[in-house]
Structure 1
Amino acid sequence: MSTKASRKGTRVGGRRGGLAGAMTPARVTVLVLAVLALVFIFENTGETEIRLLVPLVTMPLWLALLAMGLIGAVFGAYFMGRRR
């Protein structure tokens, strides 16, 4: 067996293999926050009126929340990418 060959759960080249290496505390936090955001969005399914500059639009509240969440994620990813 070569030095790079490994069994499940053992370290390869100083890194953990499998699921344990992929689940960092930051990723777990983001995953939990995403799940909580989705629960919040889908619990708020009533109709709401939203003014988009001039027109008044009636839409499900979950759709407005989801759209704002996606816009926030895009802006966050853009500014984090510029930071590096």
Structure 2
Amino acid sequence: MGKGSSNYSDVNKRCEKLSTMLNQKIPKICRGVYLKQSHYNQGVTDNMMLIEVGANENTYEEVQNSLNILAMVLDEYLSA
């Protein structure tokens, strides 16, 4: 989450909501929203957010499983 974006407040609310929804589905699956001074791509449109899945310590299987959960929650998020 880039604090340097003019859309910071709105995008942060959306990111926090998505993070909460993910953790309600599978506790601790989302490690939270990381804040940086950058703006990433959030200034491109009003609804832009960057989602990163996995890290160098995750296995391919863990990432695949996480993507399945993320897809399910994104569907719920966008349908609300």
TM-score interval, normalised by the smaller of the two chains? 0.3 to 0.5
Please report the TM-score for the alignment, with normalisation by the length of structure 2: 0.38
Larger RCO (alpha carbons 8 Å, 6+ apart): 2
Q: Select the structure that is richer in helix.
A: 1
Q: TM-score, normalised by structure 1?
A: 0.36
